[in-house]
Structures are given as structure tokens and as C-alpha cells.
Amino acid sequence: MLCVALCCLTACNSGRRQAQLLAQTAHFRFMRFETPAYVLYGWLREGYGPVLHVYLEGDGMAFLTRTKPSSDPTPRDPAAFRLASRHPGSSPVLYLGRPCPYVEDADRRGCSEAAWTSERMSEGAVRSTAAALEQAKLATRTTKLALYGYSGGGGIAALLAQRRQDVIFLGTIAGNLDHRLWTTRLNLTPLHASLNPMDAVMLTARIPQLHLSGGQDSVIPANMAERWCAALPPESSCRHRHIPSMTHEGAWERVWPDLLRHYSMEDE
């Protein structure tokens, strides 16, 4: 038991160090967001223009084993931060952690195992993220949002896009857009306390979208993004790109910037 705890602590500290190193090398500054339910941590790259580009992290280290939750969901490898660090253009870019990753001491208020397991896409998680986005918009003097989510962060990005009028682009990378399909395919415990993005997919029909899936992804079903776009009207601007050689934890940042330049809007 002590060994498992030490391994968890080492991994979480490694994830924090990686985030700090990425922030230094890619010129992001730390931001702290106080919301009623949680404190969220993020890092901002300053820029110009009305659009704030927001990258939402995945589920992180939610579990130590298939059945044992972690005591700290801080990701060992902040994949969404790697993507954010390669975002093209000169607009402001925010990398935003989910509720409970990275935070320590008093800032862990509200955090429990449920927050990063059954409630990872709960109403509380979505509202807290939305509150952080409002603070970030004020700090950057932006008026529009482009949302990008990796893995479980893709589900949060979609849930936010379904209820906000300021989202002008939605992108997911190996995104969990249908956790009901995900838990069924992988024989996992259903996320009964979470909202399922696929249930309200039509609310994103007006938003230009790009969804990436990996052919070697053993975590997210390869057809999830395709099913998402297929559920939208033919006239909607929803595109899916399948990367045959990509794994779930692969180097998505190598292909993402060029695809984003090709498919997304100009910063207007």
C-alpha cells in the first residue's frame, strides 16, 4: 500500500513539473481560478484579438488500477498542454486543468474521488469550468471562445459548447464525446453522475467543429468522433479526421497545428 501511495505521489509531482516546464519553455503564465465548487489551475499565453483559445485537459490519473481510484488526478503527461503550446497564431491561449488536478493544500477544497471518477463530467464540473472561462475572458479582454479538449476534456468542451453562445469553434482530440458508449465498450462502471455530451449533440450544430481520432487508440472508440458528426445535420460544419497510426497518448501535437490551420476559422 505504501509503495502504491509513493508511486502516485511521484507521478503527480512529475506531472506538475512537466506542466511547469512547458509553461516556462512556451511562455505561459500561471493563473488561478476561484469558483464556488472548486479551485482550477491554468496557464495563459498572452496574445491579441477577440478570441481566447482554451485547451481542456483529459481525465488525468483518475485511477491507479482498473478498480482503484487515485488520490490525486494530476496527469502524468499533460497532453492538452502539449497541444496548447503548439497552438498557431498570435491569439491568447489558455491551458486549463480540470477540477482537482494540480491543486494542493487549501485549494483542494471540494475535491474527492467522485470528482475525477463518476462526477468527472457532472453539472458541477461544467459550471466550475464555465466560471473559470468567464474569469479568463475578463483577464484577456476577449469576447469569444474556441474550445479544444483532449480525451475527457473533449467531453467537457462539448458540454460547454452546448450551453454557451460565445463558442465559435469546437475541437476534440481523442475526445470522449459519448461516455455511455465508452463505458459500455470497455466494460467500465457507468458515469451515472455525469452529463453525456452525445445526449445533446444537436445543440452544437451551429458551431464549426474538428474532431480527431486515432487508429491505434485503445481508450476511446475509433468511431466515436465519426458518430458525433454523423448525428448532426448535413449542412453543419463538423469534420472528423482519423489518424491511423495514432495512439491515445500519442504525439497529437505533431499533427494538430497543421490540421487546425486548415479547418478552423480565422481569428475574427
Chain segment 172-214, per-residue pLDDT in tens: 999 999 999 999 999 999 999 999 999 999 999 999 999 999 9
Single out the residue of 201, 225, 207, 204 nearest to residue 265, CA to CA: 207
* Residue 244 scores a pLDDT above 70: yes
Section 21-44 average pLDDT: 97
Burial class (CB in 10 A: 0-12, 13-18, 19+), 258: exposed
Q: What would the DSSP string read from start to end of 115-132?
A: GGTTTTTSHHHHHHHHHH
Q: In the chain, what percentage of residues exceed pLDDT 70?
A: 94
Q: Where are the domains of the chain?
A: 2-263
Distance CA 247, CA 218 (A): 7
* Residue 8 scores a pLDDT above 70: no
Mode of pairing for the β-strands spanning 51-56 and 39-45: unpaired
Cβ–Cβ under 8 Å, residues 209 and 171: yes
At 99 the pLDDT is 97
Distance CA 28, CA 44 (A): 5
Angle separating helix axes 123-140 and 152-163, nearest 10 degrees: 70
Distance CA 245, CA 69 (A): 30
> Right CATH number for 2-263 from 3.40.720.10, 3.40.50.1820, 3.30.210.10, 3.40.50.300?
3.40.50.1820
Give the sheet arrangement for strand 144-150, strand by strand. 29-34, 39-45, 93-96, 51-56, 144-150, 167-173, 209-214, 238-243
